[in-house]
Amino acid sequence: MEPDSTEQDEQRNISDRPDRKRLTRKKLCLLLVPVFAILTVLLFYIINVYHMPDLNELLIRAKLAKLPESIKNLQVETRPNMDDDGRAVPNTGELFIRFEAEPNNIDKFINNSPGIDKNRIRPLSTAVNSNLNPPWWIINRAASGRIYSIPEHGDSHAGTVVIDGDSGTVLIYMWFAVNPQIPEMQNAIEDMYDESVDFLEDLLHEVLDLFGD
């Protein structure tokens, strides 16, 4: 006497259970891979957000020449970039530099800095002082001098170079991205998150189908 169809279905379900369990465990393991990847990227993101680049690194990024060896009274300040409400803007900083040098050394610095736009020169009278600048970063707008621009480069940095010809003083301001790779990392995290959500939804549907049989 052959077993009826109900008994055959039960036996088939019993034999299929180990395979289904293995399949479910495998999918759960696959789900953990993007989760751990996202956590790793987030950890890397947190570490790099609070890493403030040093002066040499910022000069290289902005394609500025090394500071002249004959400079005097060098002052440097690197700090987080603040918005109008006094709150730090994530992943951005500000660099302030002041030094004094001979006119020929200043000209060499300008000419050897490909990151400075030498085609757009403004008179010193157009400069604007700000209360947010360090107290030593003061522009004498009545002096004879000129202002160069450091053009924005890939949302990474931009700034100005102010030359006070009367005192032989150079003032450099630049805002910069603390880590230029952060936006790329954010996009990668969002893509991984979307893929994980899609995968989880498909997995839940399959698990529900398994229990619904």
How confident is the model over 60-103, as pLDDT tens digits? 989 999 998 889 999 999 988 877 777 777 778 899 999 999 99
Average pLDDT, integer, range 41-67: 76
Higher pLDDT: 207 or 145? It is 145
Low-confidence winner among 71-75, 155-159, 183-187 (lowest mean pLDDT): 183-187
The per-residue pLDDT for 141 is 83
Q: CB burial class (10 A; 0-12, 13-18, 19+) of residue 169?
A: buried
Low-confidence winner among 25-29, 44-48, 105-109, 200-204 (lowest mean pLDDT): 44-48
Each residue of 3-24: pLDDT tens digit? 555 554 444 444 555 555 565 5
Q: Which residue has the tokens 């996202």?
A: 38
Query: For the chain, which residues make up each domain, given as ranges?
Result: 5-49+182-212, 55-177
Q: How many CB atoms lie within 10 A of CB 25?
A: 10
Specify which of 46-50, 126-130, 188-192 reaches the highest per-range mean pLDDT: 126-130
Q: What is the rounded CA–CA span in Å between residue 177 and residue 94?
A: 9
Tokens describing residue 190: 């969002």
Average pLDDT, integer, range 97-118: 95
The per-residue pLDDT for 24 is 58
Q: What is the dihedral of CA 184, 185, 186, 189, to 10 degrees?
A: 130
Share of the chain above pLDDT 90, in %: 33
The per-residue pLDDT for 92 is 84
What mean pLDDT, rounded, does the chain reach? 76
